Structure 1
Amino acid sequence: MLPPRTRVRLLTSAAAALLAAPLVTAVGAPDAAAATSGIRGVNWADARDNYVAGWVIPTGLTASDTYATVRSKAAGILGGFQSQLGANTVRLPVNPQSVSSSWWASYKGAIDEARARGMSVVLGYWEADTSKDGTIDDTAAWNAMWDTVVTDYGSDSGVSFEPMNEPFGYSLSAWTSVASGWLSRHASVPRGRVLVSGTGYDDDVTGVCAASALSGTLLALHFYGYWANDTTRSAWTTNLSGRIGSCGSRTVIDEAGAPMTTGLQYSGGPQDGNTSTAYFAATTDYARANGIGLVYWPGLRSGDTYSITRQSGSGLAVNNASGVTQLRWGWGL
């Protein structure tokens, strides 16, 4: 069975037929208590939702692209994220199949272009679509992948690492053990540049926040409007705040999104009364009020009604101007 997030994205697709300092500056030293509000990000995703058994290839890139071609294409897409949205951070997927192959040499062009443009980068591991059990597919391959990625980008203060996306197959204690093992293996990486996913579908960070073995790390939270049927901002605020607790200073909401191709009005009008508009208003209001970084899902992904942009020539066009306005509000812009 597909994870809930993937199911809904497929269903919604069918139903629908500026620059800032590097991320580490925003969060400070490993034991910093500063808010993460400097993180204004978007996910640049594979059309297959990043769960693939082969190479992860974000929308707009192709498997035959060379490093130079990836950089050229990335310039238009990343430039669009910056100019059209005001983003300063991009979250990109990695997996062992991509990093252990010739694709890695090309794919690095997207990371390098982002850094050349002054954007921070978050690299997160997705498991393959052949399992989707919320656990690491192959620990040895996972370790080898991260060894390579950290060797290549560990010294770059603008690149951060998310050991695993949505570790729903682990209990809190088991996931804490896996994440603390990653920290030990890669002790050269400042903890302030590591995003430890919340438990479940990254849906609650209070447990990992309380784990002393994970102290000083950032915490990655996912939050979506199809998790409840509420139509008021107040109900959604209560829902979100319970998932964060007192851990807002370490939390980054690195996936949150709503339908952007269905004509919904997210700003400049009533927000209560509709599940998606109330959810998105509450999420962006909460992020702004509490200094929490927000990484929209997705900034670009073909076939996804949540995608806030689409490709247009060598750059991007906005799918929903009111959605962009509300997102920028959440970013503090």
Structure 2
Amino acid sequence: MFRPTTSTAHRRPSWRLALAAAAVSLAASSIAVGVAGPTPGAYAATNQFKGVNWADPRDNYADDPVVPSGLSTSDSYATTYAKATAVIGGFQSNLGANTVRLPINPYSVNGSFWASYSGAVDAATAKGFNVILSYWEGVAHKDGVVDDLTSYWTMWQTVTSKYAGNSRVYFEPMNEPFGYSASAWANLVAQWMSTYPSIPKNRVFVSGTGYNDNVTSVCADSRFTGAYLSLHVYGFWNTSQTAYAGWVSDLRNRIGSCASRTVVDEWGAQMTTGLNYTGPINNNYFIAYVEADSDVMHALGMGSVYWPGLRNGDTYSMETLHGSGTNLTLTNNSASGVTRLQWAWGGGGGGATVIRGTGSNRCLDVPGSTTMNGTQLDIWDCNGGGNQSWLLTPSKWLVVYGNKCLDIPGGATASGTKAELWDCNGGTNQQWNVNSNGTITSVATGLCLDVSGAGTANHSEVDVYTCNGGTNQKWTRA
């Protein structure tokens, strides 16, 4: 996928933007974000992949060797190894990453550069990293089709021969195969697998169709049972979408029931422009996209590989490179971006849980499992259903169904205001502090989440009220 540099952030080629926009489907969905159906040959989760892309400043599309930022075609193997050790160490210490996705093309592998470039792969695996090697086409074609099949197969023969025995190395036959029909792409992947039978399927990443933008068809293909699936998703694909719920639906539609096999091996947003990805959405599509997608990935236990961990000159880059020679260091570009990345990987407090009232031993509940905006919340016997499963996000939202928030209607500030269900929108009336003393307080008002009238019976209504220390204002998440 074409990525903008600082100077081209809003000047993407119109035909690529049109194609990408056409790929976006934001059909409404109320599927609970915490539920993923079983898939034959699926994995329990994929969040063992906590990764970043290390990219060429030219965006990995090249008609010569593709060279990740900080490396050079003139480097020896030893120099490449030393540089990569420093960069991978930065990803590890700054972000907590354990996976890097590296680009390859025939120019990188079939010529002299491979002797040194392989040092980056070796350095990463030596530090315990997973490495995903993905083929990128050249810039002259850029049509979503393998440029030259003869050089393509020669490249993969060299790569698989070298790394078939290294269990930390994974193989992605092509990045964004948008020039192929779904059936033609599936057939090429099947040919790849049959050509390299020594590569176990659980070390292959099968790209989704189009711009890697949907995995449902490759997931359904029995030839790929046991393989991982790779998905890409970006905010700039729909700049008019500023609703959190819309982005949740978008990502869920792209995944279908295949979350337990899918790794989002490209997603990203601006990290050098000061956007706060743990605060209000403020009608910003970047913020809505990052907050929604990281919440979905967290809740579904999905791995992801951020675009890019490092790419010089890219406003999306999570890291900035410093130093020269082999004395290289990385610094983070966005604290809130790092928080969201780590949250997507499963960090920061676990998944959706019930919220149990101390005084009643009953749970915060959406009556009748409705998804209707404005529904007043109550307490009910704890049953662990989707209507009682609340996810506390880094933005301090309490989210149910994946796209509905615990809300104070209309931003009201009065004690006794009933708590309700509403589309997540990032307002402070949807932000909550979960406190060590057992209270849950509104960021907007400081009022406590409260069972009205200290009720303990099923269907007792929930409101916000002046904090008074009562057991009807004490909650546990478990």
TM-score scaled by length of structure 1: 0.92
CA distance in 2 between counterparts of 1:205 and 1:34 reads: 17
Distance 1:216 1:15, change over 3 A: closer
- Could you tell me which amino acid in structure 1 is paired with residue 340 of structure 2? Q
Residue among 121, 125, 129 paired with 1:111: 121
Report how many aligned residue pairs link the two structures. 314
CA distance in 2 between counterparts of 1:34 and 1:179 reads: 23
Contact kept in structure 2, 1:232 and 1:272, CA below 8 Å: no
CA distance in 1 between counterparts of 2:302 and 2:229 reads: 11
Residue among 230, 237, 254 paired with 2:241: 230
* Corresponding position: 1:279 with 2:289: yes
Residue among 66, 76, 84 paired with 2:94: 84
- Could you tell me which amino acid in structure 2 is paired with residue 127 of structure 1? E
Residue among 95, 104, 114 paired with 1:94: 104
Residue among 4, 10, 34 paired with 1:9: 4
Q: Secondary structure at the match of 1:265?
A: coil
Q: Secondary structure at the match of 1:299?
A: strand
TM-score scaled by length of structure 2: 0.64
- Could you tell me which amino acid in structure 2 is paired with residue 320 of structure 1? S
Query: Residue 171 of structure 2 aligns with which residue?
Result: 161
**Whose radius of gyration is greater, 1 or 2?**
2
Distance 1:166 1:85, change over 3 A: same
Residues 120-159 of structure 1 mapped to structure 2, 5 A cutoff: 120-159=130-169
The Cα offsets for residues 261-308 of structure 1, whole Å up to 9 and x where unpaired, read as: 1110111x2136210011001111111100111100000001110001
Query: Residue 198 of structure 1 aligns with which residue?
Result: 208
Contact kept in structure 1, 2:270 and 2:317, CA below 8 Å: yes
Q: 1:32: how far off?
A: 4.4
The answer to which structure, 1 or 2, has the higher relative contact order (CA under 8 A, 6+ apart) is: 1
Identical-pair percentage: 55
The Cα offsets for residues 57-94 of structure 1, whole Å up to 9 and x where unpaired, read as: 00000110000000111111111000001100000001
Query: Residue 19 of structure 1 aligns with which residue?
Result: none
Query: Residue 269 of structure 2 aligns with which residue?
Result: 258
Cα root mean square deviation, aligned: 1.5
Residue among 290, 311, 327 paired with 2:321: 311
Query: Residue 346 of structure 2 aligns with which residue?
Result: 332
Higher strand share: 2
Contact kept in structure 1, 2:42 and 2:225, CA below 8 Å: no
Q: 1:120: how far off?
A: 0.6
Contact kept in structure 2, 1:13 and 1:304, CA below 8 Å: no
CA distance in 2 between counterparts of 1:13 and 1:154 reads: 40
Q: Secondary structure at the match of 1:9?
A: coil
Query: Residue 191 of structure 2 aligns with which residue?
Result: 181
CA distance in 2 between counterparts of 1:167 and 1:133 reads: 8
Query: Residue 322 of structure 1 aligns with which residue?
Result: 336
CA distance in 2 between counterparts of 1:312 and 1:128 reads: 28
Q: Secondary structure at the match of 2:53?
A: strand
Q: Structure 2: give runs of 5+ residues left out of the alignment.
A: 11-39, 348-478
CA distance in 2 between counterparts of 1:318 and 1:301 reads: 13
Q: 1:33: how far off?
A: 2.7
CA distance in 2 between counterparts of 1:145 and 1:172 reads: 24
